[in-house]
Chains A and B, each alone.
Chain A
Amino acid sequence: MKKLIVSLALVSLFSICFANETYQTAMNQSIEKLFQVKSIPEYIEVANRFERISNIEKTEWLPLYYSAFAYVMISFQESENVKKDNYLDQAQKYLDRAMAIDPNESELHLLQGFLYPSRMTVDPMNRGMALMPEMNKSLDKALELNPDNPRVYYLRATMTFHTPQEYGGGASKALPLFLLAEEKFSIFKPKTAISPNWGKEMNESELKKVQETPKE
């Protein structure tokens, strides 16, 4: 009898480990896929995987984070404004749900700050004025929660690079910011194997572009 209890306990322990491992494996596989895919249908496919994971792991913000991230990436590709807004609405929904799970996660605020510039591209003249402060607020919050989050530095640098010189932007202003971001990326260690760990390559390629921009 005692042995039976022990073995039952073992089995249940095993199944818990198994389940947790399933989560890790599913996340690992999906994340790997997320950073390989290029086309919109492929991104949707990965976002759907994360959504399915999020439906079970109700206390994890990461699956929702990646779903939202996939839709933000989609929105940057989509050229039709109405569709773009729909994708961003979807991203915002996932992000809101993630935010409800962990409102003090730097990466979620960062992703929010990454979502706004895509919104702005729909109608730069009108939305720019309204969303710029919102974006800055999100990035400030992300930095406050984790002063070493390299993606905040990367986004700030990119925004500066793409802002006209007249508005305090331009390549020469962006260069030190990209270098700082590079430094932050080099020392960054993700909390877990499935925590956000993107942006290093993007930073490198943008940095290259900045360095190739002729001096004004």
Chain B
Amino acid sequence: MKIFIMFFSLQLMLSGAFAQVQISGKVTDQGKMPLSGANVFFHGTYDGATADSLGRFKFKTSLKGIQKLTASFIGYKPFQRKLNLDSLNSFILNIVLEESGEQIDEVVINAGAFEASDEKKAVILRMFDVATTPSAQGDIFGALGSLPGVQKVGEDGRVFVRGGEAYETKTYMDGMQVSTPFLSKMPDMPTRGRFSPLLFSGTLFSTGAYSAEYGQALSSIVDMKTNGVEMEEKSSISIMTVGVMGSTIKCWKNASLSLSGDYVTSGLSNTINKQQVDWIKSPFGVDGTVMYRLKTGKTGLYKFFGAFNNSSSGLNYPNTQTGINHDILANSGNVFLNNTWSSMIGEKWMMKSGVVLNYDRQKFDIDQDQMVTTKRMTQCKLDFHHFLNDQTELKLGGDWVNYAYEQNIRMGGNYSLPFTNNELSGFGEIEYKLTKKLATRFGARLENSTLLKETTLVPRFSGAYKTGNHSQVSLACGQFYQNPEDDYLKFAPRLNPEKASHAVMTWQYLTEQKTFRVEAYRKKYYNLVKYTKPLTTNPLDYSNTGNGHAEGIDFFWRDKETFKLTDYWISYSWINARRNYRDFPKAAIPTYLSEHNLSLVYKRFFEPLRTFASVTYSFASSRPYHDPNLSGFMNAKTTAYNDISLSLTYLMQIFGKQSVLHLMVNNLAGFDTVYGYNFSNTPDAAGHYESTPIKSPYVRQIIFLVSIML
């Protein structure tokens, strides 16, 4: 009997299993589009089905009682609903899934900012792009020149942004200041950045209205992110027409050490490429870089970056102003040590800390005279990010910079011009996403300088609104302070900081393959340094009475899709700017400014030839200069600037090792551009002021490189 009961109950159990309930219906998104492939099932069971091409699904279940029905699909929030399966034999459901933030990229505050990153999916540039832009000649700052908002200033090589001088662009590495990012500069000759683009995995370049995290920059910031822990041990050696380079990487479980060094000498290159400069000592340099990375705990990363440089060069410089030819010998040494450590503290706090030391010494021997300038910079920085919730992020931070400048001049007597500044700054910023589509950021920055005896407080604001899946509008504005240049502070340490205000509006369309971006801005300058005559030593000749403005529109278009294996981008900038600063008698367009700037970068991989080719074309409209032979101020214009540069990269094997042949040709067409003129201080007997044109040191430059992976 009992066995019978047991058997019966088993029967009942099994028969129960056959009394099935049918579930059917449709899965769509909020726009009623069917979601083919959605997974519809009862939670914790095998029973379920996949929606077909019309979003329909249908399945039977033997489950009983109240069960939880789940529908899930990539990029959508899962849907859940309880059904009482005892109540009905069939259910028809229309399920509407809501998009999760992962599918559409969330709104990102980006007005004014160009980001090159290897980590994010959709960015405007990758570091590879930076390294392979021919007009850049392997220089990060050179590559920024192909972006809108940057002026082409061939005789300088630094970054002039939106009507600003070169010193208004500040360079950072992993958020820490780099006080001397450029190699030392000879008069009327372009310089270049110290660091190889290969050391970085990303660069944030902002042409205006940046976050309160960045201070002491009137126009622009460049924040370079160094590589993380390396995964692969490798070594390489490169031989170039301008020297040799080598690098090696060693890896451990949670750490890596990278060493690289180079010896650069342009003696051979200067013989191949006809020079328009009378070198008495060909430029040469020795560089070394050490990078150590260590993972600390689960989220921590310690980074050490050390760079050492020694370089020298010499030239015979015809000084038109005085009519005397000078022999100038330059010798410089630079040490840059950056330590940063970042780590999560708990789940909601992140800490970023850093200590940087920068020592720079430049010695110029000008005939019998000598000028030695040393700069010592120490910065300590501590930032906290607090992730309050999904919508809100809070940033707080402070930093202290000690900067000691000293210039010793031996010129008919000994003069010393030292000054020291301690700059204490703090910032706070709150980013709040009102919705997935609308984000705002409010910030403020407080700075105090012991030298200038000034405390400044400035607001920053930015906001962005997503207008479509790939498009958004952004708005940003803010005020910015920067201490006057060393060359003024050494004579007049009581000057006030210079001030700028920015307003930027951007519309951007960004997919992984195409980018279009248009940005309009308006900038105002206050408290710019003015002086009665150049190089005057009297502090009273300097004042903060200058001002200026700049407004313009920048366009950027990049397309990696339309043409096979081809990637190109076009930048165009229009600017209208005036300044009344330095010894200007009235507001005028400064000499470095061209109204129109255009860059075209074209890159293509030719598969059968295994060659990667890049071409850039750059154009800048004429620049003003002051001709004392004519009446008025800034009364003349140069001819327009044109440049075509080319680079070819060929992949091959040498002795069974992977190798790269690289050829760079700068100014292929040989345009002999005149950037401006130097005029004599005194007129000749006929009352005419003599002039010499300022030109590139070479007309055409060819560099050849062989790189072998060991």
**A residues lining the B interface (CB < 8 Å):** 3-4, 7, 10-11, 22, 26, 41, 44-45, 48-49, 51-53, 55-56, 81-82, 85-87, 89-90, 122-123, 125-126, 129-130, 132-134, 136-137, 164-168
Contact = CB atoms under 8 A, between A and B. Distances in A.
Contacts of A48: 37, 39, 41, 48-50
B75 A86 contact: yes
B116 to A, nearest CB: 10
6 tightest A-B contacts by CB?
Answer: A133-B232, A133-B231, A48-B39, A44-B37, A45-B50, A7-B6
A165 B46 CA distance: 49
Contacts of A90: 74
Contacts of A26: 46
B167 interface: no
B437 interface: no
B43 interface: yes
Contact of A41 (B10, B52, B231, B610): B52
A126 B511 contact: no
Band of interface residues on B: 35 or more
Contacts of A129: 128
Contacts of B656: 168
5 contacts: A44-B36, A48-B41, A52-B48, A81-B513, A166-B610
Contacts of B102: 89
Interface string B33-49: 00011010101111111
A41 B118 contact: no
A166 B658 contact: yes
Contacts of B49: 48
B639 interface: no
Nearest to B102: A89
Interface centre among B52, B102, B513, B658 (most CB of A within 10 A): B658
A82 B122 CA distance: 10
A41 B53 contact: yes
Contacts, number: 93
A180 to B, nearest CB: 21
B121 interface: yes
Contacts of B36: 41, 44
Contacts of B651: 164, 166-167
Contacts of A53: 46
A125 B128 contact: yes
B118 A56 contact: no
B3 interface: yes
Nearest to A83: B74
A165 B653 contact: yes
Contact of A52 (B2, B37, B45, B653): B45
A34 to B, nearest CB: 13
A82 B512 contact: yes
B652 interface: yes
A44 B52 CA distance: 10
B74 A167 contact: no
Contacts of B41: 48, 52, 55
B361 interface: no
Contacts of A4: 2, 6
Given A41-B52, A52-B46, A168-B656, 16 more contacts: A7-B6, A44-B36, A44-B37, A48-B39, A48-B49, A49-B50, A52-B39, A52-B45, A55-B44, A86-B75, A86-B103, A89-B74, A133-B232, A164-B651, A166-B610, A166-B651
A99 to B, nearest CB: 15
A26 to B, nearest CB: 5
A56 B103 contact: no
